[in-house]
Structure 1
């Protein structure tokens, strides 16, 4: 994506059209009694990819409790059975000797009911995170809409088309531009968040993923890196450091496959419509930093 500023009049792609529990009473004598009413239970069988509603949300809550789905993943697709929920069901099925179909059927429901009934005296085992979310500066843009339940499974990198971070950000926050990104990395490595992760930013335009037409905006995080895109202006060390931390965190948080960390030129349709990030962007440095 390229940004239009007062100094540079290149244009962005236009956005593609998208297809409590009740409080337990305090009891000083027997505090153990109240907890049972809030226990999670397995929903009825018969849920699969594309389904939505309260039963899917109940399934997701159970998978979060058992460590198969992150709260962040659930927040971007609450009540919607998308790719992340399907992958979590498959992992649960594999661990519990149930056919790994990704469909929540009778066998899976029985296994989940049994797993949720076990006492949870200790939290479910988790892998220690290598990356923590880096510091970000909030700079909200109105240019966004709903992901409509889509799971985040892709990260798309762009260059802004100028070296003027203030101008680039002003353009992405201008309602008339109809463009935005979730994050922007300035030349000094500062990270600005323009659109929350749970929202669909307008950065990819008409796109496909690995040759398959799809609403890339709905399933991706868009990151704009301030650079003129000439191929001669270096991306700064501060940008690489910040980008490694940000992409590493997002990859870890949303379980994004390494082959879904792409440039705008990799997803734009038709091929050749976009060339960002520029040819001198060091993909090897980024992939080494994030571990794949």
Structure 2
């Protein structure tokens, strides 16, 4: 406690710290007092409030609980949701939260599924830490090569899975027209996202956002998983014998297409594989073929 006898105490008030000036006690003297306990407590509380926890991946519309609230808090901090919006359903993954996730995914060049998966979680961590989530050059994925639309009914939902793999196949024939017709036939039960014909023309059968039926029972790097749900499938017109060469036009088109997909979906090089690498049991498939030049493709997309 400060006790002053004599002349009236005058003060100059500031928010922090508080300075008391006693003008008539000899030489000019000021006493600087530390901020009050309540001020320090408020400061610590504010700092704690600004701390946002990034929840684990695996959240989607309809989920509820504290993990959803953590996601909402992160989206509020980044400006994709408002506190008022969250107040209408804290901890509930509803339409507003899904829309916010999609906007965030679009900004980070991720598939706009609205599903909070591993890629979205990684991007959220980087965004909150202030680390850029996409390269500054180029700012958009490599140009997608020209494709010919040839829709196939053979697809279904990815169920929110992020795209992180590209699988190469051979069509088991050298007749692109027949191969295309087969993959568009509902009775075949097979499809791929793209087919690269002998002349280098690229056909798109299934949208990237859909799950094509190309990998069958599969694993990735020895771990059983639904490869179809997380991958883009590319069929290359070739009989797969190891004797029929892949054409120059095919390598050129395949390099352009794979480069675009790799950059757009941030696919690691190790996840650009052949059907032979993921098919279960091992040896069930030999795609894209023993004579496929992997070194050439990887050099072109690195």
Is the Cα–Cα contact under 8 Å of residues 146 and 200 in structure 1 kept in the other structure?
A: yes
- Distance across 1 between alignment mates of 2:135 and 2:166: 27
Q: Does 1:133 align with 2:144?
A: yes
State how far apart, in whole Å, the 2-side matches of 1:64 and 1:159 are.
Answer: 32
- Where do 5+ consecutive residues of structure 2 fail to align? 1-51, 62-93
Question: How much has 1:52 moved relative to structure 2?
Answer: 1.1
Aligned residue in 2 for 1:61: 103
SS at match of 2:136: coil
Residue 94 of structure 1 deviates from its aligned partner by: 4.0
Correspondence list, 1:95-244, <5 A = 95=130, 126-128=136-138, 129=140, 131-244=142-255
Does 2:111 match 1:74? yes
Larger Rg: 2
3-state DSSP of counterpart to 2:235: strand
For the residue of structure 1 that corresponds to 2:111, the secondary structure is: helix
Query: Is 1:60–1:85's contact at 8 Å kept on the other side of the alignment?
Result: no
Normalising to structure 2: TM-score of the pair?
A: 0.67
- State the 1:57 CA deviation: 4.2
**Once the 2 structures are TM-superposed, how far is the Cα of residue 84 of structure 1 from its aligned partner?**
1.3
* Alignment partner of 2:266 out of 255, 258, 280: 255
> 1:63–1:183: structure 2 CA closer, same or farther, 3 Å change rule?
closer
Contact 1:181 1:224 in 2 (8 A): yes
Quick one: higher RCO (CA 8 Å, sep 6+), 1 or 2? 1
Provide the TM-score with structure 1 as the length reference. 0.69
Structure 1 residues 62 and 197: alpha-carbon distance in aligned structure 2, compared to 1, 3 A threshold? closer
- The separation in 2 between residues aligned to 1:258 and 1:94, in whole angstroms, is 26
1:57-107 CA distances to partner (integer Å, 9 max, x unpaired)?
424524644xxx21xx232x22x11121022123224436xxxxxxxxxxx
Output the CA distance in 2 between the equivalents of 1:141 and 1:130.
25
Structure 1 residue matching 2:234: 3-state secondary structure: strand
SS in 1 for 2:123: helix
Paired residues in the alignment total 215
RMSD of equivalent CA atoms: 2.1
* Runs of 5+ unmatched residues, structure 1: 1-43, 97-123
